[in-house]
Structure 1
Amino acid sequence: MNFSPLTAISPIDGRYHSQVEELALYFSEFGLIRYRVLVEIEYFISLCQLPLPQLQQTDSSLFDQMRSIYQNFTEEDALKIKATEKVTNHDVKAVEYFIKEKLSDLGLGETIEFVHFGLTSQDINNTAIPMSLKEAMEQIVLPGYQDLLKKLMELAEMWKSIPMLAHTHGQPASPTKLGKEIQVFVNRIEQQITLLQSIPYAGKFGGATGNFNAHHVAYPFIDWVGFGNTFLQEKLHLTRSQVTTQIEHYDHLAALLDNIKRINIILVDFSRDIWQYISMGYFKQKIKAGEIGSSAMPHKVNPIDFENAEGNLGMANAIFSFLSDKLPISRLQRDLTDSTVLRNLGVPFSHSLIALKSLLKGINKLELNEQALHNDLEDNWAVVAEAIQTVLRREGYPAPYEALKELTRKNEKITKEAISAFIDRLDISEVVKKELITISPQSYTGVDLY
Structure 2
Amino acid sequence: MLIDSSLSELTALSPLDGRYAAKVQGLRPLLSEAGFMAHRVEVEVAWLIGLSTLGLPELPAFDAAARARLLRVVQEFSQADAARIKVIERKTNHDVKAVEYWLKEQVADTPELAAAAEFIHFACTSEDINNTAHALMLQRARSSCLLPAFESILQRLRELAHQHAGQPLLSRTHGQPATPSTLGKELANVVARLQRAIRAVADVQPLAKLNGATGNYNAHLAACPDVDWPAFSARVLQGLGLAQNPYTIQIEPHDWMAELFDAIARANTILLDLNRDLWGYISLGYFRQRLREGEVGSSTMPHKVNPIDFENAEGNLGLANALLRHLSEKLPISRWQRDLSDSTVLRNLGVALGYTVVACEACLRGLGKLELDAEAVDADIDACWEILAEPVQTVMRRYGLPQPYEQLKALTRGRGITQEALQGFIAGLDLPAEPKARLLALTPRAYIGLAARLAADI
TM-score in terms of structure 1 length = 0.98
Counterparts of 2:311 and 2:355 in 1: how far apart (Å)? 13
Counterparts of 1:36 and 1:368 in 2: how far apart (Å)? 50
- Superposed CA offset, 1:340-391 (max 9, x none): 1100111011000000000011011100010011101110011011011111
Match of 2:405 in 1: 401
Going from structure 1 to structure 2, the CA distance change for 1:231 and 1:410 (only over 3 Å counts) comes to: closer
Query: Is 2:420 the partner of 1:417?
Result: yes
Q: Is 2:209–2:233's contact at 8 Å kept on the other side of the alignment? A: no
Q: Would you say how many aligned residue pairs link Structure 1 and Structure 2?
A: 448
Letter in 2 for 1:188: R
Query: Is 2:139 the partner of 1:134?
Result: yes
Match of 2:381 in 1: 377
Query: Is 2:65 the partner of 1:53?
Result: no
Match of 2:261 in 1: 257
62-71 or 362-371, larger mean C-alpha shift = 62-71
**Partner of 2:9: helix, strand, or coil?**
coil
Counterparts of 1:142 and 1:218 in 2: how far apart (Å)? 43
Aligned pairs (5 A) from 1:124-273: 124-233=129-238, 235-273=239-277
* Alignment gaps of 5+ in structure 1: none
Offset, 1:410: 6.7
Identify the match of residue 302 of structure 1 among 306, 317, 324.
Answer: 306
**Partner of 2:305: helix, strand, or coil?**
coil
Query: Is 2:443 the partner of 1:440?
Result: yes
Identify the match of residue 285 of structure 1 among 269, 289, 292.
Answer: 289
Counterparts of 2:412 and 2:420 in 1: how far apart (Å)? 13
Letter in 2 for 1:50: L
Query: Is 2:66 the partner of 1:62?
Result: yes
Counterparts of 1:99 and 1:421 in 2: how far apart (Å)? 88
Q: Is 2:168–2:182's contact at 8 Å kept on the other side of the alignment? A: yes
- Superposed CA offset, 1:60-104 (max 9, x none): 332122111010111111111110111111111111111112122
Letter in 1 for 2:174: H
Counterparts of 1:195 and 1:22 in 2: how far apart (Å)? 22
Match of 2:103 in 1: 99
Letter in 2 for 1:326: K
Offset, 1:237: 1.0
Looking at both structures, which has the greater relative contact order when contacts are Cα pairs under 8 Å and sequence separation is at least 6?
A: 2
Match of 2:430 in 1: 427
**Partner of 2:291: helix, strand, or coil?**
coil
Match of 2:357 in 1: 353
**Partner of 1:22: helix, strand, or coil?**
coil
Query: Is 2:25 the partner of 1:21?
Result: yes
Counterparts of 2:131 and 2:247 in 1: how far apart (Å)? 14
Counterparts of 1:164 and 1:281 in 2: how far apart (Å)? 12
Counterparts of 2:250 and 2:22 in 1: how far apart (Å)? 38
Letter in 2 for 1:358: A
Counterparts of 2:211 and 2:267 in 1: how far apart (Å)? 34
Counterparts of 1:410 and 1:209 in 2: how far apart (Å)? 68
Q: Is 2:53–2:61's contact at 8 Å kept on the other side of the alignment? A: no
Identify the match of residue 77 of structure 1 among 77, 81, 87.
Answer: 81
**Partner of 1:297: helix, strand, or coil?**
coil
Offset, 1:425: 1.5
Offset, 1:246: 0.7
Counting aligned pairs with the same residue, the percent is 48
Counterparts of 1:52 and 1:32 in 2: how far apart (Å)? 30
Offset, 1:16: 0.7
Identify the match of residue 324 of structure 1 among 321, 325, 328.
Answer: 328
**Partner of 1:442: helix, strand, or coil?**
helix
**Partner of 2:443: helix, strand, or coil?**
coil
Letter in 1 for 2:240: L
TM-score in terms of structure 2 length = 0.96
Letter in 1 for 2:67: F
Counterparts of 1:179 and 1:223 in 2: how far apart (Å)? 58
Counterparts of 1:279 and 1:57 in 2: how far apart (Å)? 69
283-292 or 430-439, larger mean C-alpha shift = 430-439
Offset, 1:430: 2.7
Match of 1:31 in 2: 35
- Superposed CA offset, 1:240-262 (max 9, x none): 11111111100110110011001
Letter in 2 for 1:147: S
Counterparts of 1:365 and 1:410 in 2: how far apart (Å)? 36
Identify the match of residue 88 of structure 1 among 87, 92, 106.
Answer: 92
Match of 1:334 in 2: 338
